[in-house]
Structure 1
Amino acid sequence: MQRYLDGESDTVAAGMWLGKALQGGAVVYLGGQLGAGKTTFCRGVLQAFGHVGAVKSPTYTIVEPYEAAGVSVYHFDLYRLGDPEELEYMGIRDYFDGDAVCLVEWPERGAGVLPLADIMVSIEVQGAGRLLVASGATPRGQQILAQLSEYETD
């Protein structure tokens, strides 16, 4: 599925749109160049769970945990990761339990250590806005996106 995003508010709204369907946990990979809006999208996902307040990119801490509406949401930014093995030292596998929502920016930097994504989101600069492309990479991810497509047509 594709969606054109015309500015920051559209990017947050797209994150909220996806976040509403992530009940029960999912792993979401976020791709796109630096400054494309990945963290802004994550803010929308967190707002869908009722989070209010700042959402910062965890570039230096690697992970920022949130508890919202009884759900654990983990926002990862692997941009500064030197070696995927560093993730093992921080106990990365503990974050990816079945009920948590894990949002992973720069997932290619954790290749071989991260679990597979349920949903892959790409945000790319296109003209004055952004193009969001989302695809289901597992049956769970496909089910989530299919459910969202049904909501759009209602």
Structure 2
Amino acid sequence: MSSYEYIAADLTETGKLAAGLASLFGPGTVLALDGDLGAGKTAFSQAVARSLGVSDVVNSPTFTIIKEYEGAELPFYHMDVYRLSADEADELGLDDYFYGEGVTLIEWASLVEELLPPERLSVYIEHGGGDSRRFRLTPAGEPYSQWCMQLKENGLLR
């Protein structure tokens, strides 16, 4: 699988990546998000939500597991599976979200990898020093591969 890279110097540039991706989203979009504690998963999730037109405050759903928001055109489903076992996650009926009408973003997705749909966009975030972050995007299947190639052609990804 090919991977693509994006370096964000600050939260504004993180927002540019989120906006570029969100412009391509459709029903059933799945973003599998991972990274160390404090790497910026929730900040990226908030930027995605803003790009989707979510007007509510978006914070980490660590204890509620799943939060649903109305976007301008698509619902946004924000999940944090950090405190779940794969068996517990399986009981939540995640497929209803993955194959539903909205955009699903899962923080700590690697913890439930066996439950994720085969087609998705995996995003790994690393600290880059100060406010900078390095994003590694790995598409699995269509349309995610096409999106990443398009964003690379447009100069957003490398």
- Whether 2:138 is the aligned partner of 1:144: answer no
Distance 1:122 1:101 in 2: 18
Give the superposed CA RMSD.
Answer: 1.8
User: Which of 4, 12, 17 is the aligned partner of 1:9?
Assistant: 12
Equivalence for 2:92? 90
For 1:103, what is the secondary structure of its paired residue?
strand
Distance 2:151 2:100 in 1: 20
TM-score under structure 1 length normalisation: 0.88
How far does residue 117 in structure 1 lie from its aligned partner after superposition? 4.6
Equivalence for 2:110? 108
Distance 2:101 2:150 in 1: 18
Distance 1:100 1:44 in 2: 16
Misfit runs of 4+, over 3 Å: 150-153
Residue identity opposite 1:63 in structure 2? I
> Which ranges in structure 1 are unaligned for 5 or more consecutive residues?
none
User: Which of 65, 80, 83 is the aligned partner of 1:77?
Assistant: 80
- Whether 2:28 is the aligned partner of 1:28: answer no
- Whether 2:22 is the aligned partner of 1:19: answer yes
Distance 1:148 1:99 in 2: 23
How far does residue 13 in structure 1 lie from its aligned partner after superposition? 2.6
Distance 1:38 1:12 in 2: 12
How far does residue 107 in structure 1 lie from its aligned partner after superposition? 1.0
For 2:133, what is the secondary structure of its paired residue?
strand
Asked if the contact 1:29/1:105 (under 8 Å) is kept, the reply is yes
Q: Matched residues, percent identical?
A: 34
Distance 2:63 2:119 in 1: 22
- Whether 2:44 is the aligned partner of 1:41: answer yes
